[in-house]
Amino acid sequence: MHSGHAQVAHHFPSVRAQFEAGKLGMWIFLATEILLFGGLFCAYAVYRANHPEVFIYAHRYLDKVLGGINTAVLILSSFTMAWAVRAAQLSQSQRLVRLLAATIACGFVFLGIKYVEYEHKWKEGLLWGKRFKPTHQERVVEKDVPPPRPLTDVNPEERSTLPLPAPPPAGLARPEESTPVGGVVPKNVQIFFSVYFLMTGLHGLHVIAGMIVLTWMLWRARQGEFSAAYFTPVDLAGLYWHLVDLIWIYLFPLLYLIH
């Protein structure tokens, strides 16, 4: 990397062509990122369509407040990022450095809150697949009772003809605990937590990657590399960061706000 002014690599006819090539490349890369997550969204859709009761039941164990705060934090970081790009375009190097730092700070807040959430799940044993060992549930589990009142149309042959189970004896379930739908825990709750950890985990890795890139930008900005004549890297890093935010904007309602 050289510092200073705009440079054109020998195989580009002009700065502009080089800038446009970089942008196009980045957009294509973002498309591949969306497709990478696409697989997970697809898995989500399949399991949710087949087992809505699992999702309805299990999502209550997620902390809406913390999730909401995190959403706000990321939206704020998108804002500081966009402003940073603007600052680079206007050659305001001081401001650029501060805004990049602010964006990275938002990333740390996000990860911190995510850590609190994960730790909580860990303690409660609300983990993925094989590791799913809820600490507080045994009393209400009634394994062989099929889920009552499916929310979407289920193949009638698969719907149970058994009557709803009797409510559990009073005093066994602590009142402050969320009573599962119809008083029954659906089967295979772990699949929700598998999906939850896979989606948020992969997203978290992307946040970390984005923060590394932004730190690199911060370092280069402090060397005074960026100006109105040359700001492509900041612009591209910004696009990446916005994508990471955007994915969270989808993850939040899909995982935390299920009706």
**Interacting residue ranges for another protein, rule: CB under 8 A:** 9-12, 17, 20-21, 24-25, 28-29, 31-33, 35-40, 42-43, 46-47, 51, 54, 128-131, 187-188, 190-191, 194-195, 197-198, 202
- For residue 60, the number of C-alpha atoms closer than 13 Å in the C-beta half-sphere is 11
**Least distance in angstroms from the C-beta of 2 to another protein:** 14
CB of 104 vs another protein, minimal distance in Å: 24
Query: Virtual CA dihedral for 86, 92, 95, 96, nearest 10 degrees?
Result: 60
Who contacts 66 (Cβ-Cβ below 8 Å, separation ≥6)?
113, 116, 117
CA 28, CA 24: separation in Å to the nearest integer? Answer: 6
Distance of closest approach, residue 45 Cβ to another protein, in angstroms: 11
Using the minimum distance from each CB to another protein, give the nearer residue, 108 or 122. 122
Q: Which is nearer to another protein, 79 or 128 (CB)?
A: 128
In three-state secondary structure terms, 230 is strand
Smallest distance from another protein to CB 190, Å: 6
Structure tokens at 216: 């690199």
Nearest residue (CB) to another protein, 17 versus 162: 17
Q: Which is nearer to another protein, 35 or 249 (CB)?
A: 35
- The residue (of 95 and 124) whose beta carbon lies closer to another protein is 124
Question: Please, what is the minimum distance in Å from the beta carbon of residue 26 to another protein?
Answer: 9
Rounded distance between C-alpha atoms, residue 171 and residue 173, angstroms = 6
- Match 């109105």 to its residue by tokens: 228
**How far does CA 100 lie from the centroid of its chain?**
21
Q: How many residues does this entry show for the chain?
A: 259
